[in-house]
């Protein structure tokens, strides 16, 4: 049965807006700073390790100096909802690239394949997690639209350079991530709460951490909360919803919380999306783009 004219116009308008965003992202590649030499090889090797199954773990500290990205792929009929969700919630869902249905190479890395170049994925049906494969070639559909979202692993290099310890890296663990009581702005059929990542920071260095991360708004920027986790609705900081539990928060350290690109996965669950593919928390797409491309 044909759609009513009004609905047809809405669908067409949404497609045009999505296409305009994709065109804008494509043009942006001429403004990005791409790595060369050994750092370029490090990014390529990280993707190759994921593609061949050599690595299926988190990417914190991998190819430092290169932008990392979260991912969500949805059928085209849901793509406008995700686009609008990102635009209304730029802190947890800052868009770096949108790949139109039928494509899987990102402007962030020449020759990349988002179906294979992430260490571990998640496949969702009707809001439920059904698989965690190391590639999604079998789960892929031709109508999938891919969104790559900034990741706080990107600015960790700046914290390390300032001699601020990244505790989960030191411990060889994944960053702890938590669902919060902060509700994201709903968009279309999508709703859900913000997810945050946490890093313990010495009290004397918190201002430095805020300043350094604040230079990178495209990868979540400055923290959304500093201090008491209960204010975010987190009951037990040692029981994260995603990632690994923090090894230790020492005396004189303060838990600092950043918006997290796992937020769309919370929306997948809350909105019961019929079908979606995401990265597994902590397992990112490592690009060939220098962090400084997104510094302000």
For residues 200 and 64, membership in a common domain is answered with: no
For residue 97, being part of any structural domain is answered with no
- Please indicate, yes or no, if residue 96 is contained in any of the structural domains: no
Q: What is the domain count for the chain?
A: 2
Contact 182, 232 (CB under 8 A): yes
Query: Domain check: are 179 and 220 in the same one?
Result: yes
> E-assigned strands of 100-156?
121-125, 128-131, 144-150
Predicted pLDDT of residue 15 = 75
CA distances from 220 to 94, 120, 158, 247, 265 (A): 7, 22, 14, 24, 16
| Distance from C-alpha of 193 to C-alpha of 91, rounded to nearest angstrom | 12
- Shared domain for 164 and 254, answered yes or no, is yes
294 part of a folded domain: no
* Tens of pLDDT, residue by residue, the chain (296 residues): 344 444 344 455 677 777 666 666 665 666 799 999 999 999 999 999 999 999 999 999 999 999 999 999 999 999 999 999 999 999 999 999 999 998 999 999 999 999 999 999 999 999 999 999 999 999 999 999 999 999 999 999 999 999 999 999 999 999 999 999 999 999 999 999 999 999 999 999 999 999 999 999 999 999 999 999 999 999 999 999 999 999 889 999 999 999 999 999 999 999 999 999 999 999 999 999 999 999 99
Q: How many CB atoms lie within 10 A of CB 132?
A: 12
Residues 48 and 115 in one domain: yes
User: Do 119 and 208 reside in the same domain of the chain?
Assistant: no
Q: What is the helix, strand, coil percentage profile of the chain, to 5?
A: 35, 25, 45
Indicate whether 132 and 163 sit together in one domain.
Answer: no
Domain range spanning residue 222? 155-264
DSSP 60-91: TTTTTTEEEEEEEEEEHHHHHHHHHHHHH-TT
Residue 62 lies in a domain: yes
pTM strictly above 0.85: yes
Residue 149 is classified by DSSP as E
Identify whether residues 227 and 133 lie together within a single domain.
no
- pLDDT at residue 183, rounded to an integer: 99
pLDDT for the residue 11: 55
> Do residues 12 and 143 share a domain?
yes
CATH number where 54 lies: 3.40.1640.10
Residue 120 is given by DSSP the state: -
Asked, for residue 98, whether it belongs to a domain, the answer is no
pLDDT given for residue 140 in this prediction: 98
CATH number, domain with residue 219? 3.30.2040.10
What is the pLDDT, as a whole number, of residue 2? 42
* The pLDDT of residue 30: 60
The answer as to whether 24 is a domain residue is yes
């Amino acid at each position: 049965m044909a759609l009513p004219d009004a609905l047809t116009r809405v669908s067409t308008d949404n497609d045009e807006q999505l296409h305009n965003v994709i065109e804008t992202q494509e043009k942006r590649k001429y403004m990005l700073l791409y790595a060369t030499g050994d750092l370029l090889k490090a990014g390529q090797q990280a993707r190759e390790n994921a593609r061949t199954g050599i690595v299926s773990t988190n990417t914190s500290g991998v190819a430092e100096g290169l932008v990392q990205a979260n991912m969500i792929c949805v059928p085209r009929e849901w793509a406008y909802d995700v686009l609008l969700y990102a635009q209304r919630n730029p802190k947890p869902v800052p868009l770096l690239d949108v790949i139109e249905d039928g494509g899987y190479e990102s402007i962030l890395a020449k020759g990349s394949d988002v179906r294979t170049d992430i260490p571990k994925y998640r496949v969702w049906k009707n809001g439920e997690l059904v698989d965690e494969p190391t590639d999604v070639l079998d789960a892929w559909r031709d109508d999938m639209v891919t969104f790559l979202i900034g990741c706080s692993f990107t600015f960790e290099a700046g914290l390390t350079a300032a001699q601020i310890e990244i505790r989960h890296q030191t411990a060889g663990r994944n960053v702890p991530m938590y669902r919060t009581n902060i509700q994201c702005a709903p968009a279309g059929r999508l709703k859900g709460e913000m997810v945050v990542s946490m890093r313990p920071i010495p009290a004397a260095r918190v201002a430095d951490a805020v300043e350094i991360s604040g230079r990178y708004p495209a990868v979540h920027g400055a923290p959304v909360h500093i201090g008491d986790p209960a204010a975010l609705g987190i009951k037990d900081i040692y029981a994260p919803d995603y990632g690994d539990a923090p090894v230790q928060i020492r005396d004189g350290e303060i838990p600092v919380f950043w918006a997290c690109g796992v937020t769309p996965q919370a929306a997948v669950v809350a909105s019961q999306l019929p079908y979606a593919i995401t990265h597994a928390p902590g397992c990112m797409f490592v690009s060939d783009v220098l962090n400084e491309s997104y510094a302000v």
